[in-house]
Structure 1
Amino acid sequence: MKDKKVKVVRDSFTIPKTELLQIGEMKKRALTLGVGVKKSELIRAGLSALSGMTDAAFKKALASVPTIKTGRPAKD
């Protein structure tokens, strides 16, 4: 029996520049470990890590992320 393909969707979101730079640093870190990874794979790994947390740890992780204004940033 053939495995059913997982449907993928495209999305966009607003992220602070410092956190976007962290993604770049994590990609470099993965490369030093011999693992090439894409941004979307890092985000999915983060989701996997979050889903495995206890409620208390999950709540603490959410509290550590500041709320930002959504939407497109203003042009400089």
Structure 2
Amino acid sequence: MLVLSRKKGESIIIQDHIEIKVLAVEGDTIKLGLVAPKHVDIFRKEIYLEIQEANRESASANPNGLAALLGQLKDIGTE
């Protein structure tokens, strides 16, 4: 892990396209501003982990669901 110190108003640049700027420091809270290309997804870690868990649950909930759905679509197409 790279650890950097920054003060209010200072930035970090990642690979020419992503800028992380310290906007404010208020007690234990730091406000960051992020500038990145639109195709880069940015999530708070707790939200990212929730999304990953929901994806795992969806993938394992009904492994035959897609096959059944495709079968229904095939039946509709032959009517």
Identify whether the pair has TM-score above 0.5, normalized to the shorter chain.
no
Q: Give the greater-gyration-radius structure (CA).
A: 2
For CA contacts below 8 A with separation 6 or more, give which structure has more relative contact order: 1
- TM-score normalised by the chain length of structure 2: 0.27
**Of Structure 1 and Structure 2, which has the larger fraction of its residues in helix?**
1
Structure holding more strand per residue: 2
